[in-house]
Structures are given as structure tokens and as C-alpha cells.
Amino acid sequence: MLANALHDILQRLDNAARNASRPQVRLLAVSKTRPATAVAELAQALRLVQPGCVAAFGENYVQEALAKQASLGGLALEWHLIGHLQSNKARDAAAAFDWIQTVDRVKLVAALATHRPAGRVPLNVLIQVNIDDETSKHGCAPGDIDALAAAIASEPSLRLRGLMAIPAPHPDVELRRVAFRAMKTLFDGLATRYPQVDTLSMGMSDDIELAIKEGATMVRVGTALFGPRQ
């Protein structure tokens, strides 16, 4: 079941990248609300089709990720935080995750940098942008990206990798395209100033193809892999 869904998604990613003449796109499997057994099953399925590739999982809550990691024991996986991060959770997050995709204020940068455990590789960081300027959404304004990028780049325990966005789920595809394009422009600008920037995280189950066409390098997929959430 899960193996079939994974196969379909990888096919969609491949096709979309090829049709848009873009390089390979990374799959982030969004495992929020799914049990650890589903994570293990997906990781196993991915090992069969892409040997040597580390499976990447996205979680919205620090505590949920910690619980899953504990029950998965030594399984070598890559964990991404894709939910809003409160400053008082920065210590746990800096230890539990390999990537934080939701950095949207300078205060959080310092907290993550301080709490990244010594001896670990730098924590990969994406700046979350509130691209549709929705009051209900987290993420910084486009005009704040530069200050955040400078703060992140100045911390040896952090590694600035790019941008992340959750555009408003407009039923009108063209409005979503506008948001994706705006993100791509911001991303290209950032990448010219910071050569280590290589990741534009946008697109979910509903708009994988559109996001890839407009320049996503990583898509975050939950429902299309694991089925509807309860």
C-alpha cells in the first residue's frame, strides 16, 4: 500500500521535473499524525527503490517527533521541522531535528544556534516566508529575509539552505502560481548572495506539479503518501 503510493509519488516528481526541465526534486514525507510504524514502513520502501538515500520526514510538533524518534530506535532518518517553532522549544528542536524549515524571526536564530549540541553537524535552516501575507500564517515578510539570512549565516552551528513557504490554498491555480513564482524570485536572489543556498521548499499533495514547474527543489507530501489524516 504505502510502497505503491511512494512509487506513484516518486514517478510524479520525476515526470514533473522532466517536463519542467528541472533537476531532481527532493521528497519530504510529512509524517505528522502518522504512527512510527508508518514511518518505518515508508523508510523501508524507499530503501528498496533508492538504496543509499536517507528518507526525510517532516513533523509539525517537536514533542511528536521526539516520541516517534524514540520508538524508531537507531533507524537512520532525516527529520525536518515544518511546523511553527516556539522559542521555548528551540532547545529540544535544535537537538531533535536535522532541518528547521520554519525560522521566521531573529530571536529564534540565536536560540537554535546556542542549543545545537556541540559535535553535531550544523543544523540546516530554511527561512519561512509568509508569501501571501496572511494574518493567520507564520513566516516572515519578504522584506525581512535579508536580515534573517545574515543572522543565520553568521552562526557556525547553523547552515542557511534556503526558503520555505505555505502559500494560501487558492482554488484558482493561477493565484497559487503567482505565490510560487514570487518565492522563486526571492530564492534566486538569496542564492546569488549565499552560495550554500540550494533548497526551495514549496508544494504539497495538491500542487506538487505546479510547485515543481515553478521551481521547488523540495516538496512536502503527506496525504498523497499516507492517505487522509484523521
Ligand X SMILES: *Cc1c(COP(=O)(O)O)cnc(C)c1O
Applying CB under 6 A, the residues found at the interface with ligand X are 30, 32, 60, 82, 166, 204-206, 220-224
Q: For the CB of residue 52, give the shortest distance to ligand X in the complex, in Å.
A: 25
User: Are 85 and 76 in contact, with CB atoms under 8 Å apart?
Assistant: no
User: Are 103 and 68 in contact, with CB atoms under 8 Å apart?
Assistant: no
Return the number of other C-beta atoms located less than 10 Å from residue 87's C-beta: 13
C-beta closer to ligand X: residue 166 or 186: 166
Q: For the CB of residue 58, give the shortest distance to ligand X in the complex, in Å.
A: 6
Task: Calculate ∠ Cα 68-93-124, nearest 5°.
Answer: 105
Q: For the CB of residue 183, give the shortest distance to ligand X in the complex, in Å.
A: 14
- Residue closest to ligand X, measured at CB: 222
- At 16, which amino acid appears? A
Q: For the CB of residue 225, give the shortest distance to ligand X in the complex, in Å.
A: 8
87's CB contacts (< 8 A; 6+ apart) are 107, 108, 111
C-beta closer to ligand X: residue 155 or 225: 225
C-beta closer to ligand X: residue 6 or 221: 221
C-beta closer to ligand X: residue 20 or 224: 224
User: Are 58 and 28 in contact, with CB atoms under 8 Å apart?
Assistant: yes
- How far is the C-alpha of 119 from the C-alpha of 3, rounded, in Å? 35
C-beta closer to ligand X: residue 95 or 224: 224
Q: For the CB of residue 218, give the shortest distance to ligand X in the complex, in Å.
A: 10
For the chain, state the CA radius of gyration: 17
C-beta closer to ligand X: residue 105 or 220: 220
Q: For the CB of residue 13, give the shortest distance to ligand X in the complex, in Å.
A: 13
- How far is the C-alpha of 27 from the C-alpha of 10, rounded, in Å? 8
